Structure 1
Amino acid sequence: MYVKCRGGDVPGANHRAYLVLEDGTVLKGRAFGADKTAVGEVVFTTAVVGYPQSITDPSYKGQILVFTHPLIGNYGVSEDQYESEGPQAEAVVVHEATRPSHYKAVMSLDEWLKASGVPGIEGVDTRALVLKLREHGVMMGAVGQEPPDELLERVRKSPRYDEVNYALMVSPKEPEELGDGKICVGVVDCGVKRSILRELVKRGVKVLRVPCLRWELALKCDAVLFSPGPGNPNLLDRVAEGVKAAVEMRLPVMGICLGHQVVSKALGARLYKLKFGHRASNKPVRDLAFTGKTYITTHNHGYAVDPAGSGLRPWAVQPDDGTVEGLYHPDLPILTTQFHPEAGPGPRDTTWVFDKFLKMVGNGLR
């Protein structure tokens, strides 16, 4: 029986839990999900729906995910909402975990996190937490039922998010082929989402998905896509070598999110960390070069690109703060997006970017 999560009356939500930030801030709440402790970088998303997609997005590996929307869990969880094999976020923070009411739900959020070994905390004043993160920037933190001083000690003894190469943790161990089209796109997988693979396959593309450190396998294809993923892009020098190799061969290259950053890095751009990042399914992006339109898009990035000196030109920017959200090269078949054109969750108004990339392949720009 599902009971709305108020006052700790949901199974698994009867115990006091804490979220402790690296500066010593302690937020009290109720535990749900797995009975364990998790440490990670505390980030927030303003997405209203799509919590299963967000939690299973490999880009959240190493992070504690805070949902700003006050009610999370109302339509439960079903596997067709997954963006990977299962939850990737280290822990989940919500104001109120609600019971599911949807015909496709097979588990509640509480049951799902418990079965997946992911702790959650509810009853937190997420408004105050987000205001703090916006003011001070993202911080390391811990979620668990241990005393706050013990959780703080865990945080201080753990490596910082920027120091861990999380892309290697979520990259597949072996190559995989998907689809059977005439055009082959090699996907260098640093943490790809299933939605990206679906967008390619449904366009009649044969996809060769390869581990990120075995990028040379992708060079056998007609084009190469460098995928999104978690962690610090400045740690991915070996993947950037794959970009250089593809460019030397004049293979059409696309980069999405982390892939956008790695492509830019390979060509000499500067990467930097944002104060609290862009994580949402309702972020505006203004197209400066192709359509002239402004789109509402999905974002999940804590780093950004300064393309000066790389030869790349911005085609998309975030109008709120000027962050570069898309790049192209005037002479080489290179196209990147910092935002997620595949959405998952979010609006799908920019899926045309995949068509533009594949047109570069069809035009024989090699």
Structure 2
Amino acid sequence: MNHPFKKNAKLVLSNGTTFSGYSFGAVGTTLGEIVFNTGMTGYQEVITDPSYFGQILTFTYPEIGNTGINFEDSESDNCVKGLIVRNYSNNNSNWRSQISLNQWLIDNNIIGLYGVDTRALVKILRSNGSMNGLITSENNNLDSCLKLISNAPDMNGLNLSREVSTKNNYFWKETTKTSFDIRKKDIGTKNKLKIVAIDFGIKKSILNRLVSHGCEVLVLPSHSSFEDVLGNNPDGIFFSNGPGDPSTVLDGINLAKSLINYGKIPMFGICLGHQIFGLALGGETYKLPFGHRGLNHPCGMNNNVEITSQNHGFAIDPNSLSNEIVEITHLNLNDKTVAGLKLKNKPIFSVQYHPEASPGPHDSDYLFENFVSLMLERC
């Protein structure tokens, strides 16, 4: 294999394990929680998902970079802190490619590492859990690397959503670009349904899907108040995905509590928004050993299964939820963690995964349809 970039780069884990490899992208040192994604496609969407903010991402799929980067598919301006791959392809070839992944990483000041045994790394993370680490293209010795890692914050207790959330309100009007994904039938009203979306780290494709399903979308910051939301007279309220420990997102939890108690407006939450709903309902969350990050997670109940796109490191404790008011609607069928819930007496529901599936399968797109149906019942 040709190695056109700098050697002597390395990954150091908090337990002292070291992997040597080759540097690409930006140069320097970066620290974060080391996690892995099992998807076989869509690396551009994955590395620009704000749910990875503060993390160094390992791809289990070995060949990354072969389709380059285009200027349409990025999910946000927030990116991973670092990137680890088995083989980096500098010979990118795709009709939509505009720059190489290497150049894009340089432009966004993201440090990359390749030529390491990602299978061995993932085995360590699966056995020991996700852990902090660093990748460096500098001549840091092991002791200095471990000292840097020891001073890095743990993901438990980190409110990262406030760092990636929008600072200002804005309307989103773009729709899904591909014709096969456009919603075919009319929603049955001349006026578009108005959604207020609370941004905890929202992805562009999620906003596109809401617009494609006949909605006008106003995006508000994560610290928005009950009055901010209701002052915009929404037909529905959406709580987005995002990074970090859900139990620290107190603004979002308090907002969800107020809106759930109000209970008159349909609400839909995904990923971090799903966890915030669980906390607002009196539940508790906990950190998963190595999280769910990939495009092939089976979820469902009662012989109904959908393959889902996921990216999260925390989950809701099912024993902490009241079964008098909450119904668990989906389980992750790999480990039986809570993957969906709804209120029994109010138009409020959530799922742990990303139903827009960018990238990923489209099994879950019906959830947007369900959300629209709840709103139309009340128009």
| TM-score of the pair, normalised by structure 1 | 0.93
Residues 143 and 151, structure 1, Cα contact 8 Å, conserved in 2: no
Instruction: Report matched runs for 1:244-263 at 5 Å.
Output: 244-250=257-263, 251-263=265-277
Residue 247 of structure 2 is aligned to residue 198 of structure 1? no
Instruction: Report matched runs for 1:157-236 at 5 Å.
Output: 157-179=151-173, 182-216=192-226, 217-219=228-230, 220=232, 221-236=234-249
Q: Which amino acid aligns with 1:261?
A: Q
Matched with 1:299 is 310
Residues 224 and 251, structure 2, Cα contact 8 Å, conserved in 1: no
Matched with 1:3 is none
The share of aligned pairs that are identical, in percent, is 38
Q: Which amino acid aligns with 1:51?
A: Y
Q: State the SS of the aligned residue for 1:79.
A: coil
Task: Compute the displacement of 1:7 (Å).
Answer: 4.3
Matched with 2:106 is 114
Segments ≥4 residues shifted beyond 6 Å: none
Residues 132 and 152, structure 2, Cα contact 8 Å, conserved in 1: no
Matched with 2:340 is 326
Q: Equivalents in 2 of 1:164, 1:302: separation in Å?
A: 12
Matched with 1:97 is 88
Residues 141 and 155, structure 1, Cα contact 8 Å, conserved in 2: yes
- For structure 2, list consecutive stretches of 5 or more residues without a partner in the other structure: 175-190
- Could you report, residue by residue, the CA deviation over 1:16-43 in whole angstroms, capped at 9, with x for unpaired residues? 2111111111111100000121110000
Out of 3, 6, 13, the position equivalent to 1:8 is 3
Matched with 2:177 is none
Residues 274 and 302, structure 1, Cα contact 8 Å, conserved in 2: yes
- For structure 1, list consecutive stretches of 5 or more residues without a partner in the other structure: 1-5
- Could you report, residue by residue, the CA deviation over 1:217-274 in whole angstroms, capped at 9, with x for unpaired residues? 2333122111000000010122111111211222211110000000110001111111
Residues 96 and 122, structure 1, Cα contact 8 Å, conserved in 2: yes
Q: Equivalents in 1 of 2:30, 2:326: separation in Å?
A: 39
Q: Equivalents in 2 of 1:8, 1:163: separation in Å?
A: 39
Matched with 1:36 is 28
Task: Compute the displacement of 1:129 (Å).
Answer: 0.2
Matched with 1:74 is 66
Out of 7, 18, 25, the position equivalent to 2:10 is 18
Q: Equivalents in 1 of 2:371, 2:192: separation in Å?
A: 15
Q: Equivalents in 2 of 1:201, 1:363: separation in Å?
A: 19
Q: Which amino acid aligns with 1:89?
A: V
Residue 159 of structure 2 is aligned to residue 149 of structure 1? no
Q: Equivalents in 1 of 2:21, 2:143: separation in Å?
A: 16
- Could you report, residue by residue, the CA deviation over 1:124-170 in whole angstroms, capped at 9, with x for unpaired residues? 10000000000000000001123233222211112122233110110
Q: Which amino acid aligns with 1:43?
A: V
Q: Equivalents in 1 of 2:317, 2:154: separation in Å?
A: 23
Residues 223 and 252, structure 2, Cα contact 8 Å, conserved in 1: yes
Q: Equivalents in 2 of 1:162, 1:25: separation in Å?
A: 22
Between 295-304 and 309-318, the greater mean CA deviation after superposition: 309-318
Q: Equivalents in 2 of 1:336, 1:122: separation in Å?
A: 37
Aligned length: 353
Out of 253, 263, 277, the position equivalent to 1:240 is 253
Q: State the SS of the aligned residue for 2:161.
A: helix
Task: Compute the displacement of 1:178 (Å).
Answer: 2.1
